[in-house]
A and B are shown apart, each in its own frame.
Chain A
Amino acid sequence: MIRPDAELLLDITDLHASVEDQPILKGVNLQVRSGEIHAVMGRNGSGKSTLSKVLAGHPAYRVTSGTVLYRGVNLFELEAEERARLGVFLGFQYPVEIPGVSNLEFLRVATNARRLKRNLEELDTFDFEDHVQERLKVVQMDPAFLERSVNEGFSGGEKKRNEILQMALLEPVVAILDETDSGLDIDALRIVAGGVNQLANADNATLLITHYQRLLDEITPDYVHVMASGRILRTGGRELALELEQTGYDWVDKELAAQGVA
């Protein structure tokens, strides 16, 4: 939902970032307002995942120049945990397995860290169980997964549902979903996408990072961006995703060559 007067949540200006001294992002510009759903598409290695990790504060990625304002605050002055408490959420492409750490306990600690920041009461074990049972419905997840270690032995689809469950519990302001559709069969994709749709509202924004149009059949984006060589090369509406589906990315090479980048 595009409203020009909506709050500017994320303001990315000329962002450059490196991993192991290898420049990956080379001047990303993007503005995200509340109520909007953005899709970022592009080939492998175009910088999509790096963008998501930089925004979430992964320590392996170094910002070399540029700014990101999150609700007017310099995001890079905040530690990863502080960004999360303030409402920045990263749905992982490969959710991490943590043996020995109970999923339920993990979800409770995370939820309370965010609630504390929102001046909401912390939930004790019993209240949290009620709360989480209700949120499980968003992704039609089996409560048995709460008793297991975080993501351990979960199938690809279960891990992604667990990510969206975390999103449902943390109620982020900006959710960045990094290839949430990868490794999902069509039924799981519908459930995960259904969860994202239920959680999107006029006060938050979603950044979908994806390779494929099929996720965008389930979640309708307001904007589609095509990334290449560490920048956003083109921005359009949902029709841009459909065009990509038909023409592929060959035009990207031509455009980059024309710009002398490739």
Chain B
Amino acid sequence: MAVSTSEHVLAPVQQRGQVALSRLGLPTRKDEAWRLTNLSRLEAVARMPISNVATASDAPPRMDGVVRLVLDGVNDPLEGVTLPEGLTPLEPKELELALGHSLDRCGWSDDWLIEFNHASAHQLLALRVRGTVPPLELVVAAASGLIATRVLLVVEEKAQLELLQVFSGRGEAAHSHLLEVHLGQEAQMNHGVLACADGLASLFAQLAVEQEPRSAYSLTSVVQGWSLGRIEPRVVQVDGQASTTLKGLAVADVEQQLAVHTSMCFEGPDGELDQLQKCLAAGRSHTIFNGAINVPRKAQRTNAAQLSRNLLLSDRARVDTKPELEIVADDVRCAHGATVSQLQEDELFYLRSRGIGASDAAVLLLRGACQEVVDLLPTHATAWRPLERVLEGLAS
């Protein structure tokens, strides 16, 4: 996609976004969606200048067979890249039709973060996926100012995609990222998000996923170390009969605030959801999980399970977790649960009784708690040493 096309398509979006932002104003605590958010940090991001320098990537060498695209806010991510068969940029006409479609289907309107991305995004990547393509890696690094990016993926009927998105952040920098995915019938997508930062940068990532029947979407998100982090996957099964898996890990330390807001909507019968969100809060950090599940009358025989597991690693850390189930259909199975605990005394004692020191035992248990989710990232994520990154962030 040439940058000029991006600009051509994005210009009206930016205008609309700016109008919407001035109408909406900054979120306040009165707004339920922002009640727990550190709004002074949000305001600092809102005032951040847009980055106009390409950030040098700290990416490890690309694994064989993986297609890596870098969104640096400035350069065309496809320049000098030969896309493999099955991956093609969307034509401008297709793009105009498709952009914003999944967002609408996910019911995302009048949302400050969405409009913030609309107003700021200056880089767009839009790809069509046909058949089975090699694993794809999208890398976005922020090191100064705001980097606002937008990605649109049209995954055709029966196509298969493995996507890893990597976000990193250093210093006074922030990401605003908006991803739209349309999964055709019987399409399969294994999606990983690995987002680690140094405790100073901020991240807003909104993911809108639209699933046709018999498609399978699996998201594994690993988020660690953002001053203010908010990741919001919204999935809609437009006709039910699809399978969705959402597995998340958020690890916060010091004064970081990490929020995960998920929304799952079944717009037809026989849909499935398997969801686990784990949050680890150390230091004086704060993690927030909000998991909405919507099962209207037409979504009979939905089978959904949501589990929120939280680990408080310090007396001063804070965990908020809220399942939000709206079930109208009567023939459904919807299980949900939430736990907040500290490192289990029995587990610690078991390890110590085998000669493992108290601090080593704690590290082993934390590693175990994180590994359960980290191991579900697409296999080529190992090049990024995800588990080590997450644990290093906790140790600091």
Contacts and interface: CB of A to CB of B under 8 A. Distances in A.
Contacts of B354: 81, 84, 106, 110, 113, 166, 170
B358 A100 contact: no
28 contacts: A57-B352, A58-B353, A59-B349, A60-B345, A80-B352, A80-B353, A81-B352, A81-B354, A81-B355, A81-B361, A83-B353, A84-B354, A90-B353, A92-B353, A96-B344, A98-B351, A99-B372, A100-B368, A100-B369, A100-B370, A101-B364, A101-B367, A106-B354, A106-B356, A109-B356, A110-B355, A113-B354, A170-B355
A79 interface: yes
A166 B351 CA distance: 11
Given A84-B355, A85-B355, A101-B364, A96 B350 contact: yes
Interface in B353-390: 353-358, 360-361, 364-365, 367-372
B331 interface: no
Contacts of B357: 81, 113
B355 A114 contact: yes
Interface of A: 56-60, 79-81, 83-85, 89-90, 92, 95-96, 98-101, 105-106, 109-110, 113-114, 117, 149-150, 166, 170
A96 B365 CA distance: 12
A20 to B, nearest CB: 13
Given A79-B352, A84-B352, 13 more contacts: A81-B352, A81-B355, A83-B353, A92-B353, A95-B350, A98-B365, A99-B368, A101-B368, A105-B364, A106-B351, A110-B356, A149-B368, A166-B354
B349 to A, nearest CB: 6
Interface of B: 344-347, 349-358, 360-361, 364-365, 367-372
Q: Binding site of B, secondary structure by majority: helix, strand, loop or mixed?
A: helix
Nearest to A53: B349
Contact of B345 (A59, A99, A109, A170): A59
Nearest to B354: A110
A54 B41 CA distance: 50
Given A60-B345, A98-B368, A149-B368, A92 B355 contact: no
B353 to A, nearest CB: 5
B347 A96 contact: yes
Nearest to B373: A100
Nearest to A91: B353
A126 B100 CA distance: 53
A98 B357 CA distance: 16
A150 B352 CA distance: 14
A168 to B, nearest CB: 13
Contacts of A81: 352-358, 361
A244 B367 CA distance: 47
A96 B372 CA distance: 17
Contact of B349 (A80, A105, A166): A80
A78 to B, nearest CB: 11
A109 B360 contact: yes
Contacts of B371: 100-101
| Smallest CB-CB A-B distances: 3 pairs | A100-B368, A113-B355, A110-B354
Contact of A113 (B344, B356, B369): B356
Contacts of B346: 96
Contact of A101 (B349, B355, B365): B365
Given A79-B358, A81-B358, A98 B353 contact: no
Contacts of A89: 353
Nearest to A109: B356
Contacts of A98: 347, 350-351, 365, 368
A109 B357 CA distance: 10
A60 B354 CA distance: 17
A170 to B, nearest CB: 7
B39 to A, nearest CB: 35
B364 A84 contact: no
B364 A106 contact: yes
- From B353, B355, B367, B368, name the one whose CB has the most chain A CB atoms within 10 angstroms: B355
